[in-house]
Amino acid sequence: MRIDRADSEAELLGAPASSAEIVKVVAGDFEVRLAESAAEIDAAQALRYRVFYEEMTARPTPEMAARRRDFDGFDKVCDHLLVLDRRRGAGPEGIVGTYRLIRRSAAAAMGRFYSSAEYDIQPMIDYPGEVLELGRSCIEKDARNTATMQMLWRGIALYSFHYNIQVMFGCASLPGTDPSQHAQALSYLYHHHLAPPEIRVRALADRFIEMNVLPPGSYDPRKAMARVPPLIKGYLRLGGFVGDGAVIDPEFNTTDVFIIVKTELVTEKYIRHYERGMRDADS
């Protein structure tokens, strides 16, 4: 991952890409929706900073460290998906989870998708229909539970349905910059979840790290799967694929893999869920 600097604080905060209630779900104490103000975007950036730079071991720029915010130029053109715990507040103070959503129009405004710094994403650019790049996923430490993650996925499903997203993609990370520590996980992903050729993205040649490290049959797939981070497991459960090649991200101190998910699996799951809820409410 690379960090792009914006030109001013106004640009860093930007404005929500859409003020319409494209995503709006309330379930108990939780709400998922898009950011509605610069203050909420700022709070999402503060959450990202706490998770990536304070809790984990990413290296901030001096500007980020001074402001205690994670930001780049994409923040002013993307949509920011938020999960709020309404017990903490209905605005910025309630934000406990976030995702950054980048459609073709946002990428066009920046001149590229974020993940193109690590991968040749031409198969995604050429994909017919709308595509969505996911990134900057994080959840407050004391809110990392199934309920928060499910709310994020509900929001992504509704967003994808609204914009008729055909495929989602982005980079997901394994901790550390020594890929040999992830030999089993990377080999398992390559052998069992490699994307079909027509949508297979490949790491840039100067950043390519081989994932096909261990021969098939030389490791226990169940133990290897146990070494895969929860977020990547979640994508795989939705029928996700990985691209060819891992990439070392020294700024974030991670080993990245490319994830591709056809959204019909996500949206159908949640649309069925909402339809059942409507039928139950009417009965």
Confidence of residue 267 (pLDDT cuts 50, 70, 90): low
Q: Is residue 1 part of a domain?
A: no
Tell me: pLDDT of 275 over 60: no
Q: Is residue 3 part of a domain?
A: no
Share of the chain above pLDDT 90, in %: 81
The DSSP secondary-structure symbol of 164 reads T
Q: Is residue 74 part of a domain?
A: yes
pLDDT of 238? 87
Q: Is residue 2 part of a domain?
A: no
Residue 150 CB contacts under 8 Å (≥ 6 apart), including other chains: none
Q: Is residue 265 part of a domain?
A: yes
User: What is the per-residue pLDDT across 16-42, written as a single tens digit (0 to 9) for each?
Assistant: 444 457 899 999 999 999 999 999 999
Q: What H or E segment, with its residue span, contains residue 272?
A: helix 264-282
Q: Is residue 4 part of a domain?
A: no
Residue 198 structural domain: 9-282
Q: Is residue 254 part of a domain?
A: yes
pLDDT of 3? 33
What span, in angstroms and rounded, lies between the C-alpha atoms of 154 and 146? 12
Task: Say if pTM beats, i.e. exceeds, 0.85.
Answer: yes
Q: Is residue 202 part of a domain?
A: yes
For CA atoms 172, 174, 177, 181, the dihedral sign is negative
The DSSP secondary-structure symbol of 112 reads S
Half-sphere exposure of 131 (CA within 13 A, CB side): 21
What is the domain-level CATH number for residue 156? 3.40.630.30
Count of domains in the chain?
Answer: 1
